[in-house]
């Protein structure tokens, strides 16, 4: 077990290393954005995408979500893990009081320290929480006084508040419990005052890009589908919090199956089980070995019930760990088990997040950067060959030079005919590419959504939702399978073009880039499984069904649209880049022939202009080598094994 003080410090250092790496990569892409305009035809869409990617890197975050039933100690675990150096509880966590609304803890340097609160009445709106975040007018903002811990603690109590409303109003906002056991529900229903809370706090870890999501219990997860279908799947780690004294209860198991396990498709190692409150098993009348045996048996039972590896289960006492940090009692912190959990977060989660960024950049701009790299290398090779030829031409007779020029002109004429044929083929391929992109067009996607709504319009019930999901996902998978088939056909045709120019004209041998939608089909498959788990979960029966199904559908479409947009953008990037390498080679080869002819003409006159050309080539080569080094740094950051960066 490592030193208690070093575990969370190491996590902070890993976050800092990651931020340094991200900053360097952002700067390299910014430089490439300038370089891109110098080597490609003006492309507003591509330049905009580069700008968007740079902004995404600047605002990138690492999200850790805590999920569990009420009274499992999630909020206390947040206090202990991330804010133990505050010397008191940052978030309110006392017996009998529990977080009533999902709460994000982050730092936005553009805002003063504050709490932003979304009123529960916004559930009537068709907008998702993600969309409402872009509308400040919908939020109530309360300032945080960092100089007064008592005042700040009192202000943070706001997220615990609830109120009584009538049955009809509870039904209008989808919070009426319609489960059979609540048939005789009282006329006044207690609901949270706030639907969502965002705490903006300048803690060092939050400044490095950490975002912590604290979620309420089972009923809240069932009433807010966006948590299950959007927020949790986007989390890079999910801490599933249980109580050591009760083990895995029925509601714990439901949360695990329908909200945690399903949300970890991309990173099973990021689903971490925290067996909290082990201090309830501490007994001064028992020796430490016996107590450890109790805890290990509870952990083993948890492993068996949840079907997870034992190394992903962490017995801890958040309360004792926080107390130990406040009192600087290292032995108590060690006994709490927190250092092991903190160490795991440091070693696994940050590197996993870094890999996500690498994969995203490789997918978004990898083909374009690769194209630029190929172009620069082609230009370097061409200039080197020209430089070598200039040296060889010196001392040649005018007769030999004239014969060389005549031969080169014939080559140019033959090549011009070949290029004209290439452009005809290129236009034919453009038609095939357009048909492929039509399958991924926004109007087609919106039409599928409209058809799904029509399928469900007469039955906003669970069976109606099932039919709608079958319509939506059936249409999506059908289109993606057609895209996969057409993209492979296009790739084979382009490969024939590559081989012809290599065989006939000696252009460098290359393989055309392929495009596959399998990764996006996998994402849709995961989304379908998430949706099915949620649709079948008992939590769907807890609150007013029509309302939740409508919200569920809105959230489902919102997340599906994000996947669609990523697939659409990747397909368009590939469509633009699949012929770019050969097109670049063809144009550069033509330019090389023209330059060689020009050099021969200059040599007929005098050697002075040829010497000037030689100086110009050497200057161009220096510039191209600098550009190649920049692109190599981007490719290295994207594709090489991820390692922590040290200053």
**pLDDT for the residue 645:** 47
Mean pLDDT of the 138-167 span: 88
Assess whether pLDDT exceeds 60 at residue 128: yes
**pLDDT for the residue 647:** 42
Report the alpha-carbon distance of residue 274 to residue 271 in Å, rounded: 10
Nearest to 335 by CA among 387, 285, 288, 391: 288
Nearest to 252 by CA among 241, 264, 237: 241
Assess whether pLDDT exceeds 90 at residue 640: no
Assigned token pair, 516: 């596959």
Mean pLDDT of the 229-235 span: 84
Assess whether pLDDT exceeds 60 at residue 7: no
Q: In the chain, which residues fall in CATH 3.40.50.300?
A: 61-118+196-336
**pLDDT for the residue 36:** 66
pLDDT digits (tens, 9 = 90+) for 460-469: 666 777 788 8
Q: Which of 10-19, 307-316, 451-460 has the lowest mean pLDDT?
A: 451-460
CA distances from 96 to 100, 398, 615 (A): 12, 100, 81
CA distances from 425 to 397, 417, 432, 483 (A): 42, 13, 11, 21
Report residue 226's pLDDT band, with 50, 70 and 90 as the boundaries: confident
Of 221 and 72, the one with more pLDDT:
72
- Find residue 314's DSSP bridge partners: 274
**pLDDT for the residue 556:** 84
Assess whether pLDDT exceeds 90 at residue 199: yes
**pLDDT for the residue 595:** 78
Q: Which of 409-418, 580-589, 591-600 has the lowest mean pLDDT?
A: 580-589
Q: Which of 94-98, 131-135, 447-451 has the lowest mean pLDDT?
A: 94-98
Mean pLDDT of the 113-123 span: 93
User: What global pTM score does this model have?
Assistant: 0.76
What is the percentage of the chain residues whose pLDDT exceeds 90? 18
**pLDDT for the residue 140:** 95
- Provide the mean pLDDT of the chain: 81
Report residue 194's pLDDT band, with 50, 70 and 90 as the boundaries: very high
First to last CA, the chain: 27
Q: Which CATH superfamily is domain 61-118+196-336 in?
A: P-loop containing nucleotide triphosphate hydrolases (3.40.50.300)
Mean pLDDT of the 181-209 span: 82
Assess whether pLDDT exceeds 50 at residue 350: yes
Nearest to 295 by CA among 273, 280, 311: 280
Mean pLDDT of the 28-41 span: 70
Mean pLDDT of the 234-258 span: 89
Mean pLDDT of the 434-442 span: 90
**pLDDT for the residue 492:** 85
Q: How far is CA 542 from the centre of its chain?
A: 32
Report residue 137's pLDDT band, with 50, 70 and 90 as the boundaries: very high
Report residue 39's pLDDT band, with 50, 70 and 90 as the boundaries: low
Question: What residue spans of 517-607 are helical by DSSP H?
Answer: 518-536, 545-577, 580-605
Assigned token pair, 42: 């003006």
The DSSP output letter for 508 is P
Assess whether pLDDT exceeds 50 at residue 1: no
DSSP character string of 156-187: HGGGG-EEEEEHHHHHHTT--B-SGGGTT--S
Q: How is the beta sheet containing 210-214 ordered, strand by strand?
A: 140-143, 114-119, 194-200, 103-106, 210-214, 62-67, 237-243, 271-276, 313-315
């Amino acid at each position: 077990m490592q030193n208690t003080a070093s575990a969370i410090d190491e996590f902070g250092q890993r976050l800092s290393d990651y931020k340094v790496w991200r900053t360097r990569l952002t700067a390299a892409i910014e430089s490439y954005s300038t370089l891109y305009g110098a080597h490609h035809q003006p492309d507003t869409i591509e330049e905009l995408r580069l700008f968007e990617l740079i902004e995404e890197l600047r605002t990138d975050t690492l999200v850790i979500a805590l999920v569990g039933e009420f009274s499992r100690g999630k909020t206390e675990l947040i206090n202990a893990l991330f804010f133990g150096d505050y010397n008191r509880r940052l978030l309110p966590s006392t017996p009998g009081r529990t977080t009533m609304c999902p709460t994000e803890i982050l730092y936005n340097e553009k805002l003063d320290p504050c709490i932003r609160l979304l009123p529960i009445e916004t559930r009537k709106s068709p907008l998702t929480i993600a969309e409402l975040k872009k509308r400040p007018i919908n939020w109530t903002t309360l300032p945080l006084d960092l100089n007064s811990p008592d005042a700040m603690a009192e202000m943070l109590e706001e997220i615990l508040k609830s109120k009584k409303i009538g049955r009809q109003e509870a039904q209008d906002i989808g919070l009426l419990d319609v489960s059979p056991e609540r048939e005789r529900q009282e006329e006044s229903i207690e609901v949270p005052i706030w639907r969502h809370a965002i705490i903006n706090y300048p803690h060092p870890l939050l400044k490095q890009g950490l975002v912590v999501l604290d979620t309420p219990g089972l009923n809240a997860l069932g009433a807010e589908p966006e948590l299950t279908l959007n927020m949790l799947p986007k989390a890079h780690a999910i801490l599933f919090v249980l109580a050591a004294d009760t083990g895995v209860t029925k509601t714990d198991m439901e949360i695990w199956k329908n909200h945690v396990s399903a949300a970890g498709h991309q990173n099973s190692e990021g689903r971490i089980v925290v067996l909290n409150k082990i201090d309830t098993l501490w007994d001064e009348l028992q020796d430490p070995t016996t107590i450890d045996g109790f805890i290990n048996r509870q952990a083993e039972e948890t492993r068996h019930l949840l079907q997870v590896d034992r190394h992903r289960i962490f017995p801890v006492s958040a309360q004792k760990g926080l107390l130990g940090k406040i009192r600087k009692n290292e032995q108590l912190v060690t006994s709490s088990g927190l250092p092991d959990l903190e160490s795991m977060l440091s070693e696994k989660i940050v590197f996993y997040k870094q890999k996500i960024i690498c994969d995203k950049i490789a997918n978004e701009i990898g083909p374009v950067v690769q194209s630029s790299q190929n172009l620069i290398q082609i230009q370097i090779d061409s200039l080197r060959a020209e430089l070598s030829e200039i040296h060889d031409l010196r001392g040649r007779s005018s007769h030999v030079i004239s014969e060389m020029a005549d031969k080169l002109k014939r080559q140019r004429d033959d090549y011009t005919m070949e290029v004209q044929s290439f452009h005809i083929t290129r236009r034919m391929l453009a038609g095939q590419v357009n048909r492929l992109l039509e399958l991924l067009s926004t109007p087609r996607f919106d039409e599928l959504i409209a058809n799904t709504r029509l399928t469900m319009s007469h039955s906003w019930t669970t069976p109606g939702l099932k039919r709608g999901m079958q319509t939506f996902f059936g249409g999506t998978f059908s289109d993606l399978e057609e895209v996969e088939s057409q993209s492979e056909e296009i790739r084979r045709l382009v490969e024939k073009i590559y081989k012809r120019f290599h065989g006939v004209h000696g252009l460098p041998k290359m393989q055309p880039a392929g495009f596959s939608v399998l990764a996006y089909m996998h994402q849709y498959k995961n989304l379908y499984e998430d949706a099915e788990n949620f649709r079948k979960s008992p939590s769907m029966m807890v609150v007013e069904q029509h309302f939740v199904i409508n919200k569920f559908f809105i959230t489902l479409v919102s997340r599906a649209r994000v996947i669609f947009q990523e697939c659409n953008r990747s397909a368009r990037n590939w469509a633009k880049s699949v012929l770019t390498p050969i097109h670049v080679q063809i144009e550069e080869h033509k330019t090389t022939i023209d330059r060689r002819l020009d050099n021969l003409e200059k040599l007929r006159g005098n050697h002075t202009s040829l010497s000037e050309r030689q100086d110009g080539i050497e200057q161009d080569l220096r510039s191209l080598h600098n550009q190649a080094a920049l692109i190599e740094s981007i490719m290295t950051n994207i594709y090489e094994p991820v390692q922590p960066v040290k200053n």
